Structure 1
Amino acid sequence: MKAVNITLTFNGQTEEAFNFYKSVFGGEFIHIQRMKDIPGPEPVVGAEGEKILHVALPIGGAVLNGMDIPQGRPQSNRGDNFMITLETESEDETTKIFNGLAEGGFVMMPLAQQFWATYFGMVKDKFGIQWMLSYIK
């Protein structure tokens, strides 16, 4: 396992929240990407395109990640609007952990190659905890 980090999810307030966290903790964003940056034949436009796809702020030895929930998906609720993000070391490790967490849970996004990761998936375990698993070669 490379790292365990936290991802906070918001209903369109990610940019505001992360500017606040940056003012509190200091530092600079190491990554910020908007929904309009998603490649594909149908670009995300308007207010939805300006939402944050991913932002990352280093804090100590960890990274605080954030994202806005895309239109059409269940909205975040204050107090449980987070995911534990696991950065894995191989596709095999990713698959093993993902399948273990999915047992009795719910697959939110199946493991697959994504434009931002070699192998990525999202799952809610049987206790309601949301996980994102990411392997990048």
Structure 2
Amino acid sequence: MKSATTFLMFQGQAHEAIEQYQQWFTDLEVIQIEYMENSQQVAMATLQLKGLKLMVNDSVIQHNFSFTPSTSIFLECESEEEIKNLVNQIEESGQALMPLDHYGFSKKFAWIQDRFGVSWQLTYS
């Protein structure tokens, strides 16, 4: 096996999602991005966030499924301020599956699904 990478398949929103994620996560790096001919649809992009490699694309085939909350990106925040800011930004146009709170296993934890359907678990211990 050469590598293992998280793959996020969008249906026409990949470019918009990448731009949004760059705003939320200032250290998100776009390693490479290719667009489909004459469009803003992402043929393939490679992103890096805190050592996590993400591949992103727009499917050329419409599917009857999207992201599921049971698969999520887990982020360990460095401060209470950081987790509050990220939760507020992601939740703004998304929805809280578990609102920011103390759940026993973490001083501060939230599980948020963003407006694109991608789920993010955030913790601050």
TM range (shorter): 0.3 to 0.5
* Alignment TM-score, normalising by the size of structure 1: 0.43
Higher helix fraction (1 or 2): 1
The one of the two structures with greater contact order (alpha-carbon pairs below 8 A, sep at least 6) is 1
Q: TM-score, normalised by structure 2?
A: 0.47
